[in-house]
Amino acid sequence: MNYAVPAVWYKTGVGLIECIPNISEGRRPEVVADLAAAVRNTPAIRLLDVTADASHHRSVLTFAGPPSALSAAVLALVERAVATVDLRTHTGEHPRIGAVDVVPFVPLAGATLDECVSLARDTAALVATRFQIPVYLYEAAATAPHRKNLADVRRGGFEHLATRMQDPAWAPDFGPAHPHPTAGAMAMGARGPLIAFNVNLADTRFEVARAIAGEIRERAGGLPCVKAIPVRLADRGLVQVSMNLTDFHRTSMTAAFDAVERAAARYGAMVLESELIGLVPEAALPADPAVRLRLRGYTRSMVLEERLAQCL
């Protein structure tokens, strides 16, 4: 995929890679700021976006840079997360196995998916050695077919991780054969662009969100390249269909939004709005996202290419 990356970057001759770690903390702004600072202060790294959500109890950081700098930024982030996030007392709506739960690398300018695979494997080995955190490789970096899908890697969550790791099929790719006591485990991988896209219902019925998520997810025979889970937004008195669109060329944001809206109508529910977590490629958006998708708080700063242009 082509991105509108400033021409000056191409002249460096070094590939530009995006990293989007998901951290199991979304309720303490001071901790999220500390985690973001660890990334921002890494030389040659550009922090593009920070999104935190209290109901999910999760934050998503988006940053970009050359491979060596990205590895250093991930290590700095993990160091701060281990010091500040304790999964033994963590509760939230989003599935997770780790304090730094998932770390994907995505090729942007002058970089390839194979380079991201190498970066994921090298960084995973460093994380496991330095912090004694077990790391699983997923997506394009996966070492076995049953580990490719992130949902399969995270199945059972932190609470069942120790028992699951006793199964040789779920021994980690790097690190100890038991969870870190407070930081759990980590999934690290390489993939193409993914859009974290949520649709909020003006409804409190969790069973409705669960039924809709079950209808539209690919695994249940729904929309191609769509992963979906139901989420309670207790602080807002709403329920949500939380989606990952793993290939927006096959299922667009518009198609996903419309599918949720049609299904909601059958249950007597209404769509209130949609929201983005992190950044979105320009090509994935319809002409007027604020109207067509009822995209909450939409500005051009949510567009990946716009943020790259601003930060590089």
Paired tokens of 182: 């407070």
Q: Please state, for a pLDDT cut of 90, what percent of the chain lies above it.
A: 91
Q: Please give the mean pLDDT across all residues of the chain.
A: 94
pLDDT at 98 over 90: yes
**CATH numbers and ranges of domains, the chain:** 7-190 (3.30.990.10), 195-311 (3.30.70.670)
Let me know if 180 is a catalytic residue.
no
pLDDT in tens, 119-141: 999 999 999 999 999 999 999 99
Region 231-241: mean pLDDT is 94
Please give the pLDDT value at position 10: 45
Paired tokens of 14: 């070094």
- Which distant-in-sequence residues (6+ apart) come within 8 Å of 68 by Cβ? 44
- Four-residue CA torsion sign, 171, 172, 176, 178: negative
Taking a C-beta distance cutoff of 8 angstroms, is the pair 15, 107 a contact?
yes
Please give the pLDDT value at position 235: 87
Give the model's confidence band at 312: pLDDT under 50 very low, under 70 low, under 90 confident, else very high. confident
Taking a C-beta distance cutoff of 8 angstroms, is the pair 160, 202 a contact?
no
Region 219-224: mean pLDDT is 96
pLDDT at 147 over 50: yes
pLDDT at 99 over 70: yes
Q: Please state, for a pLDDT cut of 70, what percent of the chain lies above it.
A: 96
pLDDT at 285 over 60: yes
pTM of the model: 0.93
Spot the catalytic one: 94, 146, 180, 249. 94
Beta-sheet strand order (sheet of 195-201): 226-233, 238-245, 195-201, 271-277
Please give the pLDDT value at position 226: 98
Please give the pLDDT value at position 138: 98
β-strands 17-19, 100-107 pairing: antiparallel
Please give the pLDDT value at position 114: 97
pLDDT at 87 over 90: yes
Taking a C-beta distance cutoff of 8 angstroms, is the pair 119, 70 a contact?
yes
